[in-house]
Amino acid sequence: MRERPTSRCVHLARRVAAMRQGLLAGIMLTGVVACARAVAPLRGTPTAPATLPRIELSGAKRIDFRWDYSEEFIVARGEGVARIAAPDSARLDFFADGGFGSGYALLFGEHFVTPGGDLVRNILPSAPMMWAAVGRLAVPALPDTIATVDGGILRADIGRGPTWRISISDGRLASLEYIEEGRLAESVTRAPDGSVRYANPKTRRMLRITITREETVQGFDASIWRP
């Protein structure tokens, strides 16, 4: 049975009202359409043994950025600040344009703490994807790693299935993909200019981050790590 227009409007109105209570207030409506694509085999010449470089954080950095988020009928954008400290700590602050709200999240290793509420949690990807966005490779150790080299780019499938696919260029993490049943479930792509794109075709979520300023700092006050 086709859903009645009135019911659809009520459902959409409820979603909009819920979003207005947090960071994503002041949303616009749009029609974002996406689908999970099948993943092709790795390109390039196989390497043996399949040894991957360690890609870790060093020191402490403050990164200012612009962000754009979309999920089905929801679009939001604003400014943000990331404070990142090696080896595995980060604080992410988001401020919606127009003063419609703000929120923050703390990332310690594999664990998110989101005092900013569920809406902030919905914006952010999983911990491995979030670390990939700032250039750290933090996927679980899994067997059956296969690696290839293609024009100076190292690509690897990690785990059975595979589970994770990475691309490394000039020692820099260029992309991380999570694959389920042969299809792309979510991905992070890092462009040479520092911009980052996260996509989740299954949930139609997309987060774009454009870095406006990046600086190395001596460290951060301990108070920023407390919820």
pLDDT, tens digit, 9 for 90 and up, residues 114-159: 886 666 777 888 899 999 999 999 998 788 888 999 888 999 999 8
CATH of domain 25-214: 2.50.20
Per-residue confidence (pLDDT) for residue 35, from 0 to 100: 56
Q: Which two tokens stand for residue 152?
A: 């100076």
Per-residue confidence (pLDDT) for residue 32, from 0 to 100: 37
Residue pair 193/208 in contact by the 8 Å Cβ criterion: no
- Residue corresponding to tokens 């092709």: 40
pTM over 0.85: no
DSSP code of residue 35:
-
Per-residue confidence (pLDDT) for residue 112, from 0 to 100: 87
Backbone angles phi, psi at 123, to 5 degrees: -70, -40
Report the pLDDT averaged over residues 180-193: 92
Please report, for the chain, the start and end positions of each structural domain, with discontinuous segments joined by +: 25-214
Instruction: Give the model confidence (pLDDT) of 31-84 as tens digits.
Output: 333 456 788 888 889 887 777 888 999 999 999 999 999 998 889 999 999 999
Confidence of residue 16 (pLDDT cuts 50, 70, 90): very low
Confidence of residue 4 (pLDDT cuts 50, 70, 90): very low
Q: Which two tokens stand for residue 179?
A: 């694959």
